[in-house]
Structure 1
Amino acid sequence: MSADKGLNMAQDPVRCSLCPEVVVIHCGSCQVNLCAKCLSTHIDRNKSLKHEIVPYTSQLVKPEAEIQKCRDHPKQQCDLFCQDCSVPICSRCLTGNHKRHGAVDLEEICETTRSTVKEDLEELRKFRKEYEKVVGESKEELAKYIEESDKERDSLKELGKQWHQMIDKVIDKVGKDMDEIIQSDTKCLQDNTEEIQSALQDVKDSIKANEDILQDDRFTRLLSYASKNDAFRIIPSRPAIKTAKIVPVNVKEGDIIPKLIHFQRSICTKLPGYSLNRTGDVSSISTKSLLPEPELIATVKTNCKQLKGICHNEDDRVWIYGTDEILREVDITGTVQNCITAISKNSQKDIAKNKMGEIVFSHLSDECVNIVREGKISKLLDLSGWIPFGVTFNADDDLMVCMRREDYQESKFKGRTYIGFTVNPNRRIQQHNKGKHAGGAWRTHGRGPWEMVLIIHGFPNEISALRFEWAWQNPKKSRRLKHLPAKTKKENQFQYRFRIVSAMLNTCPWCRFALTIRWLKQQYVLDFPLEYSPPAHMPIAYGPVRIKKSGTNSKRGKTEPPNEQGDEEDIEFLSLLRRNEKYVRCSVCRERTKDYDTLLKCIHPKCSMQAHIICLSKKFLTNQAGQLIPVDGKCPSCKAVVLWGDLIRAKHGCYQNLEECTSAEEDTEDADWTDQLQSHVT
C-alpha cells in the first residue's frame, strides 16, 4: 500500500532550521525553530544577542520570513526598503546607488502594508454587502418593470380590439348607405329604359301603319291619314349616373396615431450614487455627466438673421438672438412665443437665463451686462474699462462673466511678422523699434512699434539655431518643409508662420532637440494644430522669464570654475572627483576612467550616477534605431526619466531655471534674462 507523496509532505511536521529533527522550541528574537540538540549551537553562534526561548506552538509562532538577497550585493540579505526607488535593499546599498535615499526597515513596511491590506479587506467586505443590496434592489426593479410592461402590452391589445370593433361598425354603416344609393340609382335607370322602350314601340307601330296605307288602294285611308312624326322628333332624356365609389382618405400613420392614442415614453433617470468612507458615512455623488456623443433631438427653423446665441428656457423652448437685435423665444416648431427688442447696435455677445427665468445678455459697446425683467431691459452690471463676452450662471445661480480689459490695443501693422536670431532679445527689440540705423533689420525699419511674442530656445549651438531660423524664414526652399501647404486666404501672416514652426518642431532633427517654447505676450497666444502638437519633451511656457546659470560671469562673459559659483550638488560632485583622482566607474559599461570631461552626471540631487557620454547615449537609443541624438531615457541608477538636453546643459554649467520676473527686473540691463538663452554656454 503506497501513500501519496504530496499528502506526506503536507502532513510532514515542522523541522528544525539547523537539522532534520522535529521542532521543540522557538527563538523569538531570531525567529527560528530549533530542536533540543541545536539550542546550544544556536546560542553559541549568536552570543551577542539576547535570545527569547519559548516552547514551539504552531498557532503562536509566525512563519519564517521570506529571505531575499540584495540585487546589487548578492551575499547580503535585504533588510531595508528604499522609498525613492521602491525596491528592497541591504545596508551596503546606502553607501552606493541608494545614497541619500529614504530607507525604512523592510519588516516594518511589510507590517504596515499588511495592516493596510487587512483594513482594505474589511472595507471590501462592507462594499460587498452594499453591492449585494444594490443588486437585489436592481433585480426587484427589473421584475417590477417587466410586470408593468406586460400589463401595458395587454392594455394595448384590448385597445386594438376596440379599434377593430369601431372600424367594423363604420364599414357596416357605409355599406348600408351604399346599398340604398345603388337601389335608388338602379330604379331610376330601369324606369328611363322602360320609357324609351315604349316610345320605340310606338315608332315601330307607326312604320307598319304607313307601310299598310301605301299597299292599300283605297282612297279613304289616304284621306284619313294623320302624321305622328312631330311627336317622335323629341327623343326622351336619360339620366347619366356614375357608379358609387369608395374614396379612401389620405391619412398618414403619424397623423392618425395621435388621434387614436397618446404613447408616453418611459422616463429614464439616474439615481445618484453614493460613496462610503471608512467610518461608514454615506455621501451622494452627482449623476451629471457628458454624453459620449451628441444626440440630435430636433431641428428648429428660425427666422433669425445670422443666429449668434441660444439659451434653453423650459418645455422645449429656447431664447435666440442674431444680428437683427431681437431676442426671441421659440418653441420646438419654430413658432415665436415671445419677443424683446434689444437696441444694442449688434453688440450683444452672449445670453443666459437664471433660475428666476430672467434673461441676461452682455453688451460689448456699452461695457455692461443687461437683464430682462418683466419684458423690460435694464442694466445689471456696469463694467467700465472691461469688455464683456460670455455670460452664464453657475449651480448657485451666481452670474459669471468672461471679459477682457479695454486698454488692449492691437498693433498698427496687424499681421506683419519678423523672424530672427539673437542672444539678447531685449536689446534686439529696441534696435528694431529704433530703426535700421540703430542696428535693426531692413524689414522692420519704419514699421514699429514691434513686439516680441514668441521665443524658441535651447538649441545645442548657434549654428543649429541659425539653420532653424533660415528654414522658418524660407519654408519653400528648405528640403524638409517643401511638403507644407502654402499660406491660405483665411490665414494672416502670423498664423501662417506659427503653422510652419509647429510643423518644424515635429520634423527631424529639430524634434529631438531639448527646446523650450515660450510665449511672451498672452494676447498673442495661439493653440497648436492637433496634427502638429509639440513633442512631449518640449515644454510650453508663458510670460517673461529670468535665467539662472552657474559657471559664467554674465557681465564679462567669462567662464569661472563651477566649484565657485555652481550648484551645491555640483560642488560636492567635483570635490569627490578631486579627492579620488584615480578612477571613476561608468554606471553603464562599468569601466573605470580618469577622463572626467567624458562623463555625465544625473541631474537628480540624490542620484550619484556617472557614465560616459557615448555609453549613456547608446543606452538611451536602445529602442530608437537610426537616431543619433537621444531625447530622453531612464537613469541607470535611480531609474528616473531624464532629458538628454538637461544632462548636457548640466555638464556645461547652464542650468536654465526659468522664473517669473517683475517689471522692474525687465527694465534692468544688468539682470537681463535673455543674455544666455542658448543651451551651450561659451
Structure 2
Amino acid sequence: MDPRYSGQDILRCDLCVTNAVQSHCELCHVNLCKACVGEHLSDFIKKHRVISYIERTSMPTYPTCPKHSKNCELYCEECDIPVCSTCISSGNHKGHHLSDVLQKLISKTRDMEKDLKELETKIFPKYEEIASSMKTKKDNLETHYTKLTTAVTKHGEDWHREINIIVNKQKSDIDDMKTKHLAALNKEENEIKHITAEVNQCILDLKKMLDANDVSLTSAYKSRNAELRHLPPDLNVSFPTFSTHQINKEKLHQMFGSLSSLSITREECGNTIKPLLDDPEFITTIDTGYKLLYSVSCPSDVEIWTCGDSKSMKLYNLKGKLLKPIKTKSRNKPSHIAVTRSGDLVYTDPHTRTVNIVKNKQIQEVIRLQGWTPYNFCSTSSGDLLVTMVSDDNKQSKVVRYSGSTEKKSIQFDSEGKPLYSSGDLKYICENRNLDICVADNSARAVVVVNQAGKLRFRYTGHPSTTTGSYDPYGITTDSQSQILTADWDNHCIHILDQDGQFLRYIDNCDLQYPWGLCVDNSDNLFVAENTTGKVKKIKYM
C-alpha cells in the first residue's frame, strides 16, 4: 500500500482488533466495535460514556494537568502549554495571555492540516521526483561510460600489441571512476530516500495526531515543514573525457591519450519549495502609455519590455521610466515579444511573417515563413524558440521548435491524429521547468500542455466551479515551482495550476482589469499587462 494513503485503512476495535470501530468511550478513551460495547460496559468498577465514533470527533479530549490532575480548559500562550484553574490561581501565569484550549486546538489543527496538505501535495512529491531522477542519472552514467570505454577500445585497436597494457590500465581507471561515480549516486539516492521516508513519517504522524484529536499531542506538535522545504543540493558530476593523440612509438605512453579526472561535487540548486501566499500582494504599477497593451517580458528583476498597439516596443524600469523605445523593422505592430536567455529582445511580425531579434540595436530576421503566419513564441531553456503559427487558410495551427533558423520539430496532432490546437491565432506559449510546452489556446478556451516530445499531457478548461466556456485564457507563464499561470481576460483574474494541471488558486484581489500578457521574474514576482488600461502590475504571490 502507498504509505501516503495507508492512513485511510479501516480503523479497528481496540478490544478485539478485528472489527471496524463504531463507538467510542469518552471516559476510557477506547474505540469499540458493536460486539465489544457490552463487554466494555460490564466493567462496573469504572464509569463509562459510550458515544458513536463520529460524535467523538466533535468532542475533543481535554488534557489533564500533570501537577493537579484536573482538566486543562485554558492555554497559556507565553508558556505554550495547557493549564488548569489551579495553575491560574497559583499565580505562576500571572500577566500571561490565556486562551481557550479548544480554540487553541482548532488553531493548531488548522496548522497541522495545512502542513499535512503541503507535505502530501508539494514536499513529498518533490522528494519522489528527485529520487526518480537518480534512475535517469544512472542511465546517463551507463551510456557515457560505455561510450568512453568504446572510444578507448577503438583507439587501442589501432595500436600494436605492445600497448595493450596501456589500454587495460586506462580501462581499469575508467572502471574505478565509474565505481566512484556510481557510489556517489547511490549515496545521494540513499540520502534522498532517507529524507523522503522522514517526510512520509511526518505525514503519518500528522494524520495520527489529527485523528486522535488530543490537545496534549496537538499542543506538543512542532512543524518540520520549514526544514523540509529546503531541498538537498543537486549532485553535479563532471564526466571524465578521453583525449586521443597520433601514434608515436617513441612516446607511446604520452601519445596514447589520457582520461580527465572524475569530478563529483554537490551544487545548491535553489529549489526551495515556495508556498503560495494566502493573499497575493500588489507591489507597483507601471503606466506604459499604450492604449491597448499585449505583452510584457522581464529581461531582469528591475526592467520590463512591453508591446501593444504601436510599432514601437518599450523598455521601462520599475519606477515607470521609459529607458528605450525600439521600432520594428517593417514599422508594423509586433504581435508578441520575449527576451532570450542571453537578454536579446525577440518579436514576431505577422505582416511580414517573420520572427526577428534585436542585437546591438540592429534588427535581424531569424525566421521567415511561407504558407504560415507566426504570432506568439517563447525562448526555451536550451535557447530554442517555440513559435505558434496559423496556416494561410486559417484552418490549421501548430507549434514549431526552431534552433536559430532551423526547424527541429513540429507539434500539431495528438496520438489519434486529431488537432491539438484550435485554428485561432490567439495562442500564448511558454516552456515549463519540466520542459513541458504550455499553450493558452483562447479559441479553444483551454490551456493545452504537451511534453517535450509533443505528447498531450492534459487540457485545462477552467475551474470546475465556473460556467463551461467562460474561461478566457490569454497570456501564460511559469515559475520556479513549475506552476502554470494564465490570464483570464474576461473574468479579470489569474489562474494558478500545478505542473499536472490541478487548479491551485486564483489571483483576483489586486484590482486586475482585463489581464492579457504575463511574465515572471527570477524572484517569482508576477508582471501582468492589463490590456485596456495600458498598465503593468507587479504582484507578489509566493
Normalised by the size of structure 2, how large is the TM-score?
0.25
Which structure carries more helix by proportion? 1
Tell me which protein shows more strand as a share of its residues.
2
Relative contact order, higher structure (CA 8 A, sep 6+) = 2
